[in-house]
Amino acid sequence: MVENKIRWLLVGAGAIASKRVAMALSESKNGTLVGVCDSIPDLAKECAAKHGVQEVYGDYDQALSETSANAVYIATPIFLHVPQAAKAVEAGKHLLVEKPLGINAREAIGLAEFAKDKNIQAGCAYYRRCYPCYCQAQKMLADGEFGQIVLVRMTYFSWANPPAGNWRIVKSKSGGGPLSDMGSHMFDAMIGLLGLPRKVYARTKTLVQPYEVEDSAVILMEYDNGADVVATFNWNSKTWSHEFEIVGSEAKIKWHPYDSGKVIKTVGRDIKELDLPNAQNVHSPLVEDFEHAILEGRDPIVPLAEAVKTNILLDAVYESSETGKEVLL
């Protein structure tokens, strides 16, 4: 055991923190939330009061120097992830960062290497790898139930309407539109199960929304065995869908909705519904895994080196869209 209790400093008290992260940290079995920091002091105070936290900061540098925390959760906009995470690593804090890890692969790789050099336990919050449906797909792959994988299909479309100037629709702050927001989660699940594809061809556009980032993306990918991936992401339809499917020569699975509901497992012509509910707070299993990783001296479920792969794939998608050419990974 390298620590007896994980003491968390939450950096960023916005939407994701108030919805799930703060509660996951404060209610974890092997840790406790001791501090909250946000550049908007009232947000930090509100979050701290809700969870009975005494350490409240409006300045991040002050928080790192004064906090009793030995671990930091970064829940700020994407463009702040790497610079803030690097400061936490420099301060000797264990580190869990919201997704995607960085704006691009270059800065994500730099952070992963820095954390490794400093011997810091560090992970990224791709919490869908903790889903029971993800674990079920892992088992099917390990048991050879799929046969040969021939197709992966993923779709996400909705209507996004953030206010003008919001960081999510400013490319330098978000890295992209639905690809960065939801595509990163779905790419991570695919990479975790099957690894990185070998080549990518993509088209990204802004068709409807008055955004700087894309509101539409269509991606074709191919794996070493020839299996194809077809992925579409849209922020420009007031209808909604969110699904993920893996098709093999012998069996397939479909998650629809991807975040909840039953899993459809098909073997030959035999179709079954599997009831695999997520945790009530989907961040909680991720936080608990990370705490166990610190206590046991092992990697978390998504170490930074693994999270980097999603940034590599996102970069390839945007490069292909810009050049009109296929990109090899």
For residues 240 and 219, give the distance between their C-alpha atoms in angstroms, rounded to a whole number: 19
The CATH class, in words, for 6-127+283-301 is alpha beta
* Domain 132-276 of CATH type 2.60.40.10: no
Angle between the 132-142 and 184-194 helix axes, to the nearest 10 degrees? Answer: 30
The pLDDT of residue 262 is 83
pLDDT tens, residue order, the chain (329 aa): 345 789 999 999 999 999 999 999 999 999 999 999 999 999 999 999 999 999 999 999 999 999 999 999 999 999 999 999 999 999 999 999 999 999 999 999 999 999 999 999 999 999 999 999 999 999 999 999 999 999 999 999 999 989 989 999 999 999 999 999 999 999 999 999 999 999 999 999 999 999 999 999 999 999 999 999 999 999 999 999 999 999 999 999 999 988 887 899 999 999 999 999 999 999 999 999 999 999 999 999 999 999 999 999 999 999 999 999 999 99
Domain spans of the chain, in order of start? 6-127+283-301, 132-276
* Residue 15: CB atoms within 10 Å: 10
- Phi, psi angle pair for 189, to nearest 5°: -60, -45
The pLDDT of residue 2 is 44
The pLDDT of residue 1 is 36
The pLDDT of residue 4 is 72
- Write down the pTM of the prediction: 0.96
Strand-by-strand arrangement of the 149-159 sheet: 270-274, 263-267, 251-255, 236-248, 149-159, 228-234, 216-222, 199-205, 327-328
> Hey, do 6-127+283-301 and 132-276 end up sharing a CATH topology, with the first three levels equal?
no
Exposed/middle/buried for 31, CB within 10 Å: 0-12, 13-18, 19+? buried
Structure tokens, 146: 């799929």
Contact 319, 105 (CB under 8 A): no
